[in-house]
Structure 1
Amino acid sequence: MMDNLEDAYSRLSLTEEEAKEVVFEEGTPSEQAEEIALSLVSKLMTAGRFNARVMKNVLKNLWKPATGLLGRDMDSNLLVFQFFSPANRKFVLNEGPWAPSEFEFSTAHFWVEAYDVLGARQTKAFAEFLGSHVGTFVDCEDEQMFGADKAICFRADIDVWKPLRHGASVKMKDKTIWVRIKYVKVPTFCYGCGKLGHVLNSCNIVAKSELDLQYGAWLGASPLKTRRRNVEAKMEDEKRLFLALWGKGGNCAKQKQPICKAHDQSTSRG
């Protein structure tokens, strides 16, 4: 069929207008590179069907990019979003886990909160250690937040095909401690097998009737904004308490210090 069409076209006598070459102005490599740099490929982690058009509208309303956003279907469960501002793209990427780091979609960025971490261990080095144990360390919260409570928050690239981790057993010099972890904005996951993308009702690994479920809603952490707000409020309360006790006009500041007088025992009379 194709050969017949090619033969037919080869015998056509083109008009002057048809024979005239039309020049297509392709974008420069730099422009194309800029478009790619401002794009994100997303995958919906679900075994069920979904409406791509509705999903694109939902995400647009959720992200609210100031400079606009274009979305198009790429493949099954894949969507491509074109941003027009590096800041908008960075916001969406940083607020993951809707931004897997590879096209294989084997990993995704998660903000992770590690609990029962006492003050001496609340350092960036310990956050990097935990991040590399859970997945691949990416970043951590502002170090000024360390020490405000018994948790530290870091960002890690985590394998999305493995069950969520409950925590990490860390061997210290004098003892072994168990560090509980929670995930910020964790997507839908199974309370039976701990994997993302499905719920217990559709799990083919753990039976729905299983009573001793190893996973649950407790693996989800509060949004980062809530954590920051709570920590900042606690730090402000501690600051006010400190000023009340030791600052100008505080009760403790008004207490007179005892005065010690030295005596020359050699000249004292018996």
Structure 2
Amino acid sequence: MRKICYEFFAIEQVYPDIEINVDKFSVTEIVDMFSVIEQVYKHIVLEVGTYKVKTAKHIIFEFEVGTVKNLDITNAEEEELVFDEDVEESGNRFELCLVGKFLTEKNLNVRVMKSKLADIWRPAMGISIKTLTEGLYLFQFFHKDDMQWMMNNGPWSFDNAILVTNTIPTWEDPTKVPLNEAEFWVQIYDLPTSFMTKAVGRQLGNFFGKFVSYDSTNNTSIWREYMRLRIRLDIRLPLKRRKKICRRDRTEFIVTCKYEKLGDFCFRCGVLSHTERSCKKRLNANLEEEVK
């Protein structure tokens, strides 16, 4: 009696819509009940063994019931639940939002940061800056022009720490959006005048990073000191500083790249995502010297 009650209790816990009271059923009814449960919940296999009936003052049922196989709620959990179209979220509620982080190892004063950026950007329709997790922020704009202006005029920084942002795709969790790239304006020096063209700028931009745009306003005079490009950088990779160029007559020259508003970065390995203080390359070098 106790064993069959345990088996029924397990079923009741997983499927609350089944209510079983063994005392109310005869032996035949209980056996039939197993069959019904198997039909309704097809992923449950119940094995009922032999049973004995003892007669005393009252009839007591003793069952030798096999184990309940595949009694696993994960089967039910893995079944797909498809919502009706009218209950699905329409559009992207993060359409006017950016998620971002600062490339720094310092503890920032979040309150001052919010006030400072809002004062610098001065969006016409306002802005809301919220902390998602430690070091990760949500920048909510209220007009697309305000957000676009902020994206086009970066990079932005606070306390000399570069702000890396990204848009949030539809249905994406803001905390899982990758923050590995940032856009910078760069100046290319030592280019001959004949090479000061957008076509050359595109190739150079794709060498130093990913070409985004060419500053044509920097091309208003006959002679220019440098070419100005906007490129997208992978902050996990070392910054490139120069490139050798070969003319058609096989003569060579070297151009150098200077980054605008670069902020803190590692002088040891040239990576933006950390400073020299926490550079693993420097720390490993120090360890090797100590071993020697």
Normalised-by-shorter TM-score class: 0.5 to 0.7
* Equivalent in the alignment of 1:136: 210
Partner of 2:118: 60
Distance across 2 between alignment mates of 1:52 and 1:143: 36
Question: Do structure 1's residue 153 and structure 2's residue 214 form an aligned pair?
Answer: no
Give 2:268's aligned residue. Answer: 192
Q: Partners in 1 of 2:266 and 2:145 — Cα distance?
A: 34
Partner of 2:130: 72
The CA deviation at 1:185 is 0.9
Residue 121 of structure 1 and its aligned partner are, at CA, apart by: 0.5
> Match for 2:182 among 108, 111, 130?
108
Pair 122,84 (structure 1): closer, same or farther in 2 beyond 3 Å: same
Matched AA of 1:90: Q
State the percentage of identical aligned residues. 30
2:246 to 171, 179, 184: 171
User: How far apart are the structure 1 equivalents of 2:214 and 2:88?
Assistant: 39
Give the paired residue count: 184
Tell me if structure 2 keeps the 8 A contact 1:109–1:155: yes
Is the Cα contact below 8 Å between 1:42 and 1:78 reproduced in 2? yes
Distance of 2:198 and 2:233 partners within structure 1 = 19
| Aligned counterpart in structure 2 of residue 47 of structure 1, from 94, 105, 122 | 105
Instruction: Compute the displacement of 1:99 (Å).
Output: 4.3
Whether 1:117 and 2:155 are equivalent positions in the alignment is: no
Task: State the one-letter code of the partner of 1:184.
Answer: E
Q: Which runs of 5+ in 2 are unaligned?
A: 1-12, 17-86, 156-162, 168-176, 287-292
State whether residues 164 and 181 of structure 2, in contact with CA within 8 Å, keep that contact through their aligned partners in structure 1: no
Counterparts of 2:199 and 2:280, CA distance in 1 = 39
> What is the TM-score when the length of structure 2 is the normalising length?
0.56
C-alpha separation between the residues in 1 aligned to 2:88 and 2:117? 28
Q: Distance in 2 between matches of 1:168 and 1:139?
A: 19
Distance 1:144 1:197, change over 3 A: closer
State the 1:199 CA deviation: 3.2
Q: What TM-score, normalized by structure 1, do the two folds share?
A: 0.60
Which structure has the larger Rg over C-alpha atoms? 2
Higher share of residues assigned strand: 2
Please give the root-mean-square deviation of Cα atoms over the aligned residues, in Å.
Answer: 2.8
Shift of 1:28: 6.8
Cα distance in 2 for residues equivalent to 1:149 and 1:72:
43
What is the CA distance between 1:125 and its match in structure 2? 0.3
Matched, 1:29 2:87: no
Aligned to 1:61, the other structure's residue is in SS state helix
Tell me, yes or no, if the aligned pair for 2:187 and 2:257 is still in contact at 8 Å. yes
Other-structure match for 2:70: none
